[in-house]
Amino acid sequence: MSGQTESGTPFEDVYGPGDPAGFDPATSLGEPGAYPFTRGVHPGMYTTRPWTTRQYAGFGTAAESNARYLELIAHGSAGLSVAFDLPTQMGMDSDAPLAAGEVGKVGVAIDSVVDMRVLFAGIDLAQVSTSMTINAPAAVLLLLYQLVAEENGIDPALLAGTIQNDVLKEYIARGTYIYPPQASLRLVGDTFAYCAQALPRWNTISISGYHMAEAGATPAQEIAFTLANGIAYVEAALAAGLDVDQFAPRLSFFFVARTTLLEEVAKFRAARRIWARVMRERFGAKNPKSQMLRFHTQTAGVQLTAQQPEVNLVRVTVQALAAVLGGTQSLHTNSYDEALALPTQKSARLAVRTQQVLAHETDLTKTVDPFAGSYVVESLTDDVEAAAVALMDAVDALGGAVAGIEQGFQKGEIERSAYEVAREIDAGERVVVGVNRFALDEEEPYEPLRVDPALEAAQAARVARVREGRDDARVTAALEQLRSAARGTDNVLPPMKRALALRATVGEVCDALRDVWGVYRPSERF
């Protein structure tokens, strides 16, 4: 025996036919692009088109982030992924008292449609696919994006991209929630319905396991709790009167890729298989696209080290290889210096080059599903699937994902796993190169990218000018229409869009919903 997988199942020394846990080559795997999609969601996979290179970026002002996006596009990035600063993620304006010290630090500050115009200046939104990592105020930022596209004469039906919009994982692992869970699910459901009519190509949610993995979830926990959240979103949409095959094809997922390559490949295969079965058998989805688990992958930031940061180039390459072999639809590769600071231009360019080497200098795109029939991968897939299904059943027994969140189940399971990993690293049982083994006596100097602290005052002044230059009476009336919709059952996105078009700010729109729905306060047992 060679110990255990990350998910806690036994890892055999040798896998082969005849082993109780080994893969039987006589057993059919199905075909790529066909139910249950174990081998991939498209028949040709990368032989017909490589994965999308989507680099996550955003910092400081909209103008600074726009310059980085233009550079990434010039270097070959096929899709943009927007990082927002903490005040924006929490639905606060840059001049809010609680925003002090956080403006532009971990992402770009967006306060109104004026900032969104600057963020995408010079970028053809009809040609680029944009992902926005935003959750509680996801609908607000999506509508700002739509407004900018319309100002440039672009039909919203042409817009392609994704909003993360996965607030349930915020209660479990991340913390940037605003409203109570049921109100948040109402907003998600309204977004599904709005986009089905107005933005048919837009992926309305990216159901995320990445942040749970960063918090310490095992591969089995990552997919179990992510798919359990997905079930809750499907149920919320059905409760809102939508047909499953109307919205399910626009669902997407977001997972991590760790350095444990074999188990990660198995994890992705298991996740596709479980979701296909859930959608067909539990929800009666008839459209094959409703049964497909399409996902974006990001390499594991939590595994990057501040010590010997160049070694992270190796880690990121292995993680990216796991994502590609696992059949991801798009990929973000972390920059090697992210354990130290925001990525520099050079490190961000190297991250893009990592994907380009995999896509163009290896033979990974020459065949569909290179690991199909591997004794170890097929066995690990079965193991991860069984462990994940057991956890999903436990969530169902508690009353579903929201009930589990309210009882602290998912959070508690992840925290126990995180503690065990930390203990193993501290004890030297889990090797981290450059940290607890192969360390240097003295680290080489490094000059990080720094965000100018003066931008906070400039951004606060900018949002003040937006308020001064608008018709406040019309904005006030529009915000009251939004509150009225939130108090009733009407979809809140149309009045939200009208308010934003009149230059209501992100904070004002979110405050209007706070007035009606309140804010979430976790119980002490969390």
Average pLDDT value for residue range 474-478: 98
Residue type at 143 in one-letter notation: L
Average pLDDT value for residue range 481-506: 98
pLDDT band at 78 (very low <50, low <70, confident <90, very high): low
On average, the pLDDT of the chain sits at 92
Other CB atoms within 10 Å distance of the CB of residue 478: 22
Per-residue model confidence (pLDDT) at position 177: 95
Query: pLDDT tens digits for 169-203?
Result: 999 998 999 999 999 999 999 999 999 899 999 98
Domains annotated for the chain, with CATH where assigned, are 45-427 (3.20.20.240), 455-517 (no CATH)
Other CB atoms within 10 Å distance of the CB of residue 471: 11
pLDDT band at 450 (very low <50, low <70, confident <90, very high): confident
The token pair that represents 49 in the structure block: 């088109």
pLDDT band at 1 (very low <50, low <70, confident <90, very high): very low
Per-residue model confidence (pLDDT) at position 331: 94
Average pLDDT value for residue range 505-521: 97
Query: pLDDT tens digits for 340-378?
Result: 988 888 998 999 999 999 999 999 999 999 999 899 999
Average pLDDT value for residue range 149-153: 97
Query: pLDDT tens digits for 276-326?
Result: 999 999 999 999 999 999 999 999 999 999 999 999 999 999 999 999 999
pLDDT band at 523 (very low <50, low <70, confident <90, very high): low
Integer Cα distance of 377 and 261 in angstroms: 10
Lowest-pLDDT choice from 10-14, 143-147, 258-262:
10-14
Does residue 27 carry a pLDDT above 60? no
Does residue 74 carry a pLDDT above 90? no
What percent of the residues of the chain are helix, what percent strand, and what percent coil, each to the nearest 5?
A: 50, 10, 40
Other CB atoms within 10 Å distance of the CB of residue 367: 11
Helices (H) and strands (E) in the chain, counts: 20, 9
